[in-house]
Structures are given as structure tokens and as C-alpha cells.
Amino acid sequence: MLEQTIDFIKPSGVRTGIERWSVDAIVTLFELPFSDLIYRAQTVHRAHFDPNAVQVSTLLSIKTGGCSEDCGYCPQSARYQTGVENEELMALDEVVSAARAARDSGASRFCMGAAWRGPKQRDLEPVLKMIQQVKALGLETCATLGMLKEGQAEQLKQAGLDYYNHNLDTAPEFYGEVISTRTYQDRLETLDRVRDVGINVCCGGIVGMGESRSQRAGLLAQLANMEQPPESVPINLLTQVEGTPLAGTEALDAFEFVRTIAAARITMPHSSVRLSAGRTGMSDEMQALCFIAGANSIFYGEKLLTTGNPDVERDRALFAKLGIKGMN
């Protein structure tokens, strides 16, 4: 058995002694022969999901640039010169129009992202109206707005928010190499607030930032060992943007990325595993391997916040080649 009992400290500090995935056990998964790892991941995937169905989401940046954080990968940080222009919060009708277009193009979930450290109440109020109107279009709603204060998750829930995205980004021991302006505990506390009010959690991370294989395993252990693993787990491949501190990082091997997807699928069998940032640089063959390894969700459309994303027609053509259908 690769699983073993370990103590995992939840954000609240309460220990549990149920079966958990240790970092060493996940590293052992990574070290399996590639075909054995993929076979195991595909077996787990088929036990819980339709292997030929992929959930499709669209992500819209509703407020771009000017973020005060220093995340080393992010072109929206005000600390870096990346060519990203600061933009005010989009108007309600613009957001609803974009959501309608996303729905008509086959998306079933519409995600709204704002480059804030965390929303002030005056920021949150127009976003609540966006959530209500996007929900009225028949779409699932998702938001990523940064850290939430007490009471804000409740307001998002009341507006009809289905998912809140707040990534851990990487393993705790590598986190300080990437970000200094918010702590790991800050992220866990926001996730607690979201979970406590009954909003689904979308939480994953970024690989290819210079972390070790053990640290990639450490990220997956944090996610898999949550009291309730995230319903949606985005696995991002670093998109290097000139002007950010992580520009020039050695690119992650494609097979290592696929191994990360497979390990995520095995350790979180009930979660949707999403191919997120970095798909622009992936060949059709690499994406196909990711789907075989257990990925069953993608972001759809031309942009992923401020960086490129495969366009809709390329995704449709790939789905047709693979016999994949969109998941409602």
C-alpha cells in the first residue's frame, strides 16, 4: 500500500489520524514506471468519472493588474514591469455578455478573477451582482478574488457562488521562494471560510517554478490531506512572463507534468483535475496524455487572465480527435 496513516494538521490545528497520503508515498507514485503510473491513474479515473468527458470552464479577468502582492509568477503584480495595463473593475453588462458568449461556446462554468490582495466591501458588492446574473444564465459560478475577510464568504454564498478558487501554489517548504506578501496560513484560512459556508473549493497550484519532485509531491499531499479535498484541483504549468522573477526558470519536462496530473488523480480520486495555465505550450499529444492520466477539466477560450490559452476551435478539434465530450 502506498497510502499510510500520518498526522495532518488542519488549519484549525485539530489533528486527525485517518489514512492520509505522505509526501514519501506520493514521491513513490512519481517514481513508478510511466506506463504503470498512467494505468493506475486511468483505473482510478474510470472508477469515479466518465473517461471521455471533460468539464469546460471559462475564466474572465474582471479586474486586471495593480495587485500589491509579490507572487513571483504573476504579471499582474504592481511590483513588476510586464506590460500588463491596470484596468478597473469591468461593468456588469460586459461581464454578463462575456458569460453568455462562454455558455454559447460550450462552457458550463464561468470564473471571474480579480487582481486584489483581497476585496474591500465596496469591491465585493458589484461582484455579488455579477455572480447573481451569471448564475441566472444557467452557468455554474466561480470567483477568485484573493483573501476573504470574515463575513465575505457568506455574502458570496448568498449571491449564488458555486466555487471559490484560492490556490496553495506550491508546497509549504518552497512557498517562501515564490511569495512573501501573504503566508501559507493566510491561504488556508480563506479556504476554511469558503468551506465553512458550503461553497465548493477550487484549489491547486503551479508546477515548473523550480521546485523539486518532492516539493511537487508536497503540494499534492497538502491538497489530498485536507479534511475534504477540493472539488476542483487546477494544476498550472508555469507560464513564464518577461519581467517576473520566475522568467527564465528551467522548463519542466513534459512527462514530469503528466506524472503530476496522474499523481493528483490517484491521491484525489473524487476531485476534478483541471489543466489550467500553460496549455498554450502543450502539444495535442501532451494534452491527450494528461486526459489519459486523469485530467477531466480545462479552461476554455483565448485568454487565461492575462496570458494566452488555446483557442476554442483548437480545443474542439482536439476533443473531436479524442472522442471527448463536454461535461455538463
Catalytic residue numbers?
67, 71, 74, 111, 142, 202, 274
Long-range (24+ apart) CB contacts under 8 A made by 256-260 are 256/207, 256/213, 256/216, 257/207, 257/208, 257/286, 257/290, 258/34, 258/38, 258/286, 258/289, 258/290, 258/293, 259/29, 259/30, 259/34, 259/37, 259/293, 260/30, 260/207, 260/216, 260/220, 260/235
For the chain, how many helices (H) and strands (E)?
11, 16
Question: Using CA atoms, how far apart are residues 227 and 229, in angstroms rounded to an integer?
Answer: 6
Q: What are phi and psi of 110, to 5 degrees?
A: -120, 120
> CA 263, CA 306: separation in Å to the nearest integer?
28
- Listed in order, strand segments (DSSP E) in 196-247 are 200-202, 205-207, 232-237
**Length of the chain (residues):** 328
* SS3 of residue 45 by DSSP: helix
Residues 6+ apart with CB under 8 A from 228: 195, 201
Grid coordinates given for 28? 513513490
d(CA 231, CA 205): 14
DSSP helix/strand/coil, 162: coil
Distance of alpha carbon 230 from the chain centroid: 10
Report helix, strand or coil for 209: coil
